[in-house]
Chain A
Amino acid sequence: MSEANGVNPGASGVNPDQELNAENLPGRRGDQGEPIRVQRGMFGANNGGDTSGYGGLVRPVRLPGPATRPYGGWFDEVADELEGALEEQSLLPENAIEKTVVDRGELTFHIAREHLPRVARTLRDDPALRFELCTGVSGVHFPGDKGRELHAVYHLRSITHNRLIRLEVSVPDSDPHIPSIVDVYPTNDWHERETYDFFGLIFDGHPALTRIMMPDDWQGFPQRKDYPLGGIPVEYKGAQIPAPDQRRSYS
């Protein structure tokens, strides 16, 4: 299972001495998850020749795939409550929740973007869910995940029930619009501006979506994968060291 992803057996994410249960079981991989990248060769050299003889290997790298019930622990409880609450609002859960991933003891709901505000409001207001603290939004750019290049990841914490879940919304690069949830969680004001600044995700309905970190006249969205790191070669006594993103490297 883990070798298929080009992973050291010793670091496969599973502790062989540990009893497996829902809290520590890694998510299903194999053919299930989203392909995000293609690994060529054994050693991940991105330039220069691979003389090992394994340079022809091609393997897709996938994120953990969807989980099936039971998720284990309190995960089922949260999922049941959320689905029930969405049904009460006459919203079919399978329309709102694209998939549910359980990986490394964390529960992730992939939400269709048009239903994000309603799901967030339900998660906040339902007494059995009560995720009152949103820890902001983090953008991730997967250029290899066609049609779902930009991901916005929200972590919600429930102080009442002492739980943490993750919401993930994926949008294509050609249409990077996500409804803003600032009116549900006002704390996301700056977080959404930051994600817009770095990834170009446009949060519809945000009160003032402007750049926050970069100067106002900055071109491009610097933390996307297609934006170069922007370093300069460093020169010292006749030797020149290229910027970190230009060097020969393994990944």
Chain B
Amino acid sequence: MSATHATHSTRSASARETTEGTVYTVTGGDWDEVVEAAARTDDERIIVNMGPQHPSTHGVLRLILEIDGETVTEARCGIGYLHTGIEKNLEFRNWTQGTTFVTRMDYLTPFYNEAAYCLGVEKLLGIEDQVPDRASVIRVMLMELNRLSSHLVAIATGGMELGASTIMIYGFRDRELILDIFELITGLRMNHAYIRPGGLAQDLPPGAVDQVRDFLKKMRKNMPEYDKLATGNPIFKARLQDVGYLDLAGCMALGVTGPILRATGLPHDLRKSQPYCGYETYDFEVPTAETCDAYGRFLIRLEEMRQSLRIVEQCLERLEPGPVMVEDKKIAWPAQLALGPDGLGNSLDHIKKIMGTSMEALIHHFKLVTEGFRVPPGQAYTAVESPKGELGVHVVSDGGTRPYRVHFRDPSFTNLQSVAAMCEGGQVADVIVAVASIDPVMGGVDR
């Protein structure tokens, strides 16, 4: 190539011999114009496809970035790679079975999905006031523990994506302590289906309160470690500060809620403004920041974890003995479930009663278990403040034993729309930080 050029621009090409052959260095003349023209045609501009299978996006998120050198000029998300059809599946199961499906939506905040769904069903049934206090207190306790575990994963995976794997190890270590509590109480580490319409599946097992107390002690001891590791760390700050900027106007327009909204200084929290499960009676604060950036969101998550510890402590003080399911036998599962010797969750006393003495109880049990209860026609919208923002549930009933339509307004889905606003004009490396600070969970985004 160089040889042919050299023949008709002899005045500006100098040749030198190398081991690879003759190399011509071409300068001057119209070559400068050629180089300038090449720079103008933007051949630095390329389109990068990140994901859907990529280590540093949250789950199967696909990011389509148009980059000019190191600058992102356009960022678009491709989602739907985890679309599970949960909303459709719910329409073929009864109202109680619905909790097993919704808990698998945003798999990092299972208790919030269950609570939002159950509050919606309870609103349709008109039994919000009949849910026993003990059930509400346990719901709040589990939700706040869940907020801790969700924020721990947000911080842990966020750190991992920055290359700070120590934070990841610490986050997962503390999350395990919470999962131990969940496992003791619900029997499962994730996907619990523990909160049911009308109350809870069963009461706290013996030893649960002590374990939560132990956890609070340990977690209080571990919390400062995150400050030491990250909050004041100059490298961490340099990566997070002024990255993923989204101000209040942007948040409002894009419907963004949760820590991202609170990082703009607006203390909007549904637990304060539209209390549910008795949140108005708990003493806690809504942390805000004025920075509008990823660092502010990180600080808010840390502070919310401290507030959650406070709430859990208040829950423990309030636990009074009592029922955990509504009185109405048309809704409440008749048996107190207990793990029997056959490995199934049947109560032997109840089996004895329905098989031996009461025919009506047997019929009732059969109808309730196979068919479920009917819910009067209508629709309801309930929202809870999940760790990621406003988790809303639109429940529609046609008077049947199954949901007619359940729609989840998942905060991850809405918040993920802000990727373009946060990333465009920034660096490629900052895209990772911005997405991590949104903390989207694809199970919730795609449902």
Taking a contact as CB atoms closer than 8 A, the residue among B127, B256, B399, B402 that contacts A61 in the complex is: B399
Beyond A10-B328, A223-B88, A251-B401: 20 further Cβ-contacts under 8 Å? A5-B399, A11-B125, A11-B328, A15-B129, A33-B377, A37-B399, A61-B377, A62-B377, A105-B123, A134-B255, A136-B392, A138-B409, A140-B404, A141-B405, A159-B266, A211-B80, A212-B80, A214-B80, A245-B92, A250-B401
Contacts of A7 in B (CB 8 A): 374, 376, 399
Taking the nearest CB of chain B, how far is it from the CB of A226, in angstroms?
A: 12
Contacts of A141 in B (CB 8 A): 405
Q: Is the CB of A213 within 8 A of B80?
A: yes
Q: Is the CB of A155 within 8 A of B89?
A: no
Q: Is the CB of B89 within 8 A of A8?
A: no
Q: Is the CB of B378 within 8 A of A26?
A: yes
Q: Is the CB of A36 within 8 A of B92?
A: no
Question: Residue on B with the closest CB to A227?
Answer: B88
Taking the nearest CB of chain B, how far is it from the CB of A151, in angstroms?
A: 9
Taking a contact as CB atoms closer than 8 A, the residue among B130, B381, B407, B414 that contacts A166 in the complex is: B381
| A50 interfacial contact with B, CB 8 Å | no
Q: Is the CB of A164 within 8 A of B417?
A: no
Contacts of B381 in A (CB 8 A): 106, 135, 155, 164, 166
| A244 interfacial contact with B, CB 8 Å | yes
Known A15-B129, A15-B130, A138-B394; judge A244-B375 contact (CB<8 A).
no
Q: Is the CB of B398 within 8 A of A229?
A: no
Q: Is the CB of B374 within 8 A of A6?
A: yes
Taking the nearest CB of chain B, how far is it from the CB of A247, in angstroms?
A: 8
Contacts of A185 in B (CB 8 A): 253, 255
| B69 interfacial contact with A, CB 8 Å | no
Question: Residue on B with the closest CB to A62?
Answer: B377
Question: Residue on A with the closest CB to B405?
Answer: A140
Contacts of A153 in B (CB 8 A): 379, 394, 407
Q: Is the CB of B407 within 8 A of A103?
A: no
Binding site for A on B (CB under 8 A): 79-80, 83, 85, 87-89, 91-93, 123-127, 129-130, 252-257, 266, 268, 273-274, 328-331, 370-371, 373-381, 383, 390, 392, 394, 396, 398-402, 404-405, 407, 409, 413-414, 416-417, 446
Q: Is the CB of A244 within 8 A of B123?
A: no
Taking the nearest CB of chain A, how far is it from the CB of B295, in angstroms?
A: 24
Q: Is the CB of A11 within 8 A of B398?
A: no
Known A5-B399, A106-B381, A244-B89; judge A190-B414 contact (CB<8 A).
yes
Q: Is the CB of A229 within 8 A of B92?
A: yes
Taking the nearest CB of chain B, how far is it from the CB of A48, in angstroms?
A: 13
Taking the nearest CB of chain A, how far is it from the CB of B306, in angstroms?
A: 25
Complex Cα distance, B78 from A212, in Å, reads 8
